Amino acid sequence: MDVRTALSQAAARFAFSPTARLDAELLLAHALGIERNALLLDLTRRTPDSFWPLVERRAAQEPVAYITGVRGFWTLDLMVGPGALVPRADSETLITAALAHFGDRPPATLLDLGTGPGTLLLALLDEWPGARGLGVDRSAEALGYAVANASACGMADRARFVRGDWASALSGPFDCIVTNPPYIGTAEPLSAEVRDYEPGAALFAGPDGLADYRRLAPELRRLLAPGGAAVVEIGHEQADAVTSLLEAQGFAVTLHRDLGGRPRALLAH
């Protein structure tokens, strides 16, 4: 079967996904061992048998990133898999907010709380080659990916990772702190590919989704260097509540929206 037909058949199996065709293209490129762009330049090649087991996994709503083992984020391709939160494009809002705030005076020290596979820390270290950073996560699985990603991206000498419970036992100060904490309420509905595959500890934060923000707000104040800034990801309905928590710690807070126009990040300084 040629790849044009195979892509159409696979995309039809992925009706649950808003990016069904893209999902099929990424899986087929992975099966062929080529980049997606190379696949799209030649749709007459033959489809390998190894593609169809990947289609079955995606049809069961397993995340594409877990199937291919990689997810693009900002300027990097990050290794990811079970036990690590899949990087989202919306989280790139934190990167643009941090870059805009610091401008031509990049920070020297970074802290990423809940680093997962190193997503935010490594993206910022790639932008600020003179900086060094620390990533903290409770998940040993996620930290395994973070260490591997730092090495693959040539940042093993500038990125350090430790297992910990948020900022417990950490001492600062840090010039820039970033965090994408769990912010989903325990009763909120989720798609099967998130609920059934991604780690619940990286998703859920009590009945109102604010439990971890309540812990983080005073820790951000304690760890942030004078003149520094913290950038916090939020759910799109949580801007007012999390702003109040940060303002109670004496922060001035600026809202940043994602590409869809939804509230996505708060910059506190």
Is the same domain home to 155 and 230?
yes
Is the same domain home to 108 and 134?
yes
Q: Is 152 within the bounds of a domain?
A: yes
Stretch 235-242: mean pLDDT: 96
* Distance set, CA 260 to CA 1, 88, 92, 253 (Å): 38, 13, 12, 21
**pLDDT over 90 at 1, yes or no:** no
Cis peptide before 173 (omega within 30 of 0): yes
For the chain, report the end-to-end CA distance as a whole number of angstroms: 57
Residues contacting residue 123 through CB under 8 Å, at least 6 positions apart: 73, 74, 75, 76, 92, 95
Is the same domain home to 112 and 230?
yes
Give the pLDDT of residue 180.
Answer: 97
What percentage of the chain carries pLDDT values higher than 90? Answer: 94
The CATH number covering residue 92 comes to: 3.40.50.150
Is the same domain home to 98 and 139?
yes
Nearest by Cα to 86 from 191, 231, 205: 191
Band (pLDDT 50/70/90 cuts) for residue 161 is: very high
- pLDDT tens digits, residue range 205-215? 999 999 999 99
- pLDDT tens digits, residue range 11-22? 999 999 999 999
Number of domains in the chain: 2
Q: Is 165 within the bounds of a domain?
A: yes
Is the same domain home to 29 and 126?
no
Q: Is 65 within the bounds of a domain?
A: no
CA 184 to chain centre: 15
* Domain containing residue 41: 3-60
Q: Is 66 within the bounds of a domain?
A: no
Q: Is 67 within the bounds of a domain?
A: no
Is the same domain home to 263 and 230?
yes
Is the same domain home to 18 and 109?
no
d(CA 20, CA 245): 39
Is the same domain home to 148 and 53?
no
Is the same domain home to 253 and 214?
yes
Is the same domain home to 168 and 240?
yes
Q: Is 68 within the bounds of a domain?
A: no
Band (pLDDT 50/70/90 cuts) for residue 43 is: confident
- pLDDT tens digits, residue range 176-205? 999 999 999 998 999 999 999 999 999 999
Residues contacting residue 174 through CB under 8 Å, at least 6 positions apart: 107, 109, 110, 111, 134, 223, 224, 225, 228
Band (pLDDT 50/70/90 cuts) for residue 168 is: confident
Q: Is 163 within the bounds of a domain?
A: yes
* Domain end (from 60, 86, 108): 60
Is the same domain home to 54 and 151?
no
Band (pLDDT 50/70/90 cuts) for residue 169 is: confident
The CATH number covering residue 20 comes to: 1.10.8.10
- pLDDT tens digits, residue range 75-115? 999 999 999 999 999 999 999 999 999 999 999 999 999 99
Nearest by Cα to 107 from 133, 134, 76: 133
**pLDDT over 90 at 44, yes or no:** no
Contact in structure between 118 and 78 (CB atoms under 8 Å): yes
3-class secondary structure per residue, the chain? CEHHHHHHHHHHHCCCCCCHHHHHHHHHHHHHCCCHHHHHHCCCCECCCCHHHHHHHHHCCCCHHHHHCEEEECCEEEECCCCCCCCCHHHHHHHHHHHHHHCCCCCCEEEEECCCCCHHHHHHHHHCCCCEEEEEECCHHHHHHHHHHHHHCCCCCCEEEEECCCCCCCCCCEEEEEECCCCECCCCCCCHHHHCCCCHHHCECCCCCCHHHHHHHHHHHHHEEEEEEEEEECCCCCHHHHHHHHHCCCCCEEEEECCCCCEEEEEEC
Is the same domain home to 167 and 190?
yes
Q: What is the mean pLDDT of the chain?
A: 96
Stretch 18-35: mean pLDDT: 96
Give the pLDDT of residue 245.
Answer: 98
